Every structure is written in structure tokens, then in C-alpha cells.
Amino acid sequence: MKKSILIIIEGLIIGTSLSMGAGGDVNVETTVITSEIIDTEVENSSVGVNVETARGSSVDIKDTISTSHIENSSIENSSIGVDAHAQSGQHIEIKNNTNIVDISDSSIKHANIGISNKTHK
């Protein structure tokens, strides 16, 4: 019989999170991100690398390896892996990255799994 432990994560950021009120460029380089979520419920949360800036000019994600393994879990309104946002952004560059996503027996709703990168006017 398979023993399972249910873990509930809500409104949390796990991993690296940076939020800058008046930041400029966002660079995520030479980074290894592993996210393993098993028998877990994740809601309104970020697992991995989460970066937000205001008045950012560019978002670069380079030379990274991101793996996300999600098994028998529920992910809702959350981001798993790398999530970078820059307000007033000008340029996005995603270069030399490897991104592996493995999802089984899970429910994913309104979530970003892998690399999510967004600039806003």
C-alpha cells in the first residue's frame, strides 16, 4: 500500500524571491531550479525563482536548467519553476535554457509551470 503525505501550501513563496519597488533589469543566470511536488496542494504560491520589479527595462533568463516534477498534486493560481515580471519592461531574452516538466495524476489550474516571463507597459 502506498503511503502518502498530504502537504498544503497556500500563499507562500518557496525558493528565491526578489521584489524590487524601483528596480531596473532582471537577470536570472547560471541557475539550477528543481521543483518536486508530490501529494501536495499548492495554491496562490510560487515555488522556485520568483522575481518582480517595477519600472524594469529588461528580463533575461540565461544558462538555466529548470526541472519540475509534479505528482498526485493540485496546483492552482501559482507558478512553479521561474517566474519573472517587470513593469514597464522593454525586452525579454530566454537563452540557453533546458526546461523539463513532468506532471502525472495532478490537477493544474491557472498556473505557470516551467519558465514564465512577462514585461508590462
Partner 1 sequence: MKKLTLVLTGLLLVGTTSVFAVSATATTTAPATPAAEPAATGGSVSVDGVAIGSAIQSSEVTGSSVGVRATADGGDVSISEVAVGSAIESSTVESSTVGVAVKATSGGTVDVSNTAVGSAIQGSTVKGSNVGLAVD
Buried (b) or exposed (e) across 50-61, using 16+ Cβ within 10 A?
A: bbbbeebeebbb
> Which listed residue (37, 42, 47, 115) binds partner 1 by CB under 8 A?
115
* Alpha-carbon dihedral sign for residues 65, 26, 117, 7: positive
**Beta carbons of 16 and 34 less than 8 angstroms apart:** no
- Give the 3-state secondary structure of residue 30: strand
The stretch near partner 1 (CB under 8 A) out of 6-14, 37-45, 89-97 is 89-97
The stretch near partner 1 (CB under 8 A) out of 5-13, 38-46, 92-100 is 92-100
Q: Within 4-43, which residues bind partner 1 (CB under 8 A)? A: 15-16, 18, 20, 22-34
Q: How many CB atoms lie within 10 A of CB 42?
A: 26
Q: How far is the CB of 68 from partner 1 (least distance, A)?
A: 9
Q: Of 12 and 31, which has the nearer Cβ to partner 1?
A: 31
**Chain contacts with partner 1 (rule: CB under 8 A):** 15-16, 18, 20, 22-34, 49, 51, 53, 55-57, 65, 67, 75, 88-121
